[in-house]
């Protein structure tokens, strides 16, 4: 018995909707020691997180992403990063400041501040950890 044609398209549609890595134009072509990498993650099973916005702080230039991204490669600097964490019905946009150094990577993981409250009042924060 053949599967329904719509089921064959499902993996393609999910792949098209998934957040993708992004390299800032000013970081393109630079060596690994001259750029920094921000990787979105989630410490909760309820909400998947991606990078929504990267704004420059203290002289750093922000980056126009065009869409949510799972990973962003950019020049070193001080950035204000907004994650977009969603479970499909509800979304939360936690923010964090990152002092990104050249040649380093950072995991930005959204986590629930207090998961004992209702979903309408949940708050998330972001933990920053250097990637090995």
Q: What is the pLDDT of residues 53-64, one digit of tens each?
A: 999 997 777 889
The more confidently predicted of residues 123 and 114 is: 123
Give SS3 for 14.
helix
Mean pLDDT of the chain: 85
Q: What is the pLDDT of residues 65-113, one digit of tens each?
A: 989 999 999 999 999 999 999 998 889 999 999 999 999 999 999 998 8
Give SS3 for 17.
helix
Cβ atoms 92, 123 nearer than 8 A: yes
Tell me, what's the pLDDT at 109? 98
The dihedral through the CA atoms of 62, 79, 91, 17 has a sign that is: positive
Q: Which CATH architecture has domain 19-130?
A: Sandwich (2.60)
**CA nearest to 42, candidates 100, 101, 99, 115:** 115
Mean pLDDT, residues 19-47 taken together: 93
The two three-digit tokens of residue 79, written as one number: 């950035």
């Amino acid at each position: 018995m053949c599967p329904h044609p719509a089921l064959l398209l499902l993996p393609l549609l999910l792949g098209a909707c998934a957040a993708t890595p992004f390299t800032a134009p000013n970081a393109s072509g630079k060596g690994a020691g001259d750029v920094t990498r921000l990787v979105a993650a989630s410490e909760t099973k309820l909400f998947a997180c991606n990078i929504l916005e990267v704004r420059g702080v203290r002289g750093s230039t922000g980056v126009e992403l065009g869409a949510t991204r799972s990973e962003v490669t950019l020049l070193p600097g001080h950035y204000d990063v907004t994650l977009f964490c969603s479970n499909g019905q509800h979304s939360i946009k936690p923010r964090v400041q990152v002092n990104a150094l050249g040649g380093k990577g950072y995991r930005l993981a959204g986590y629930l501040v207090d998961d004992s409250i209702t979903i309408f009042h949940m708050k998330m924060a972001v933990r920053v950890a250097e990637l090995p």
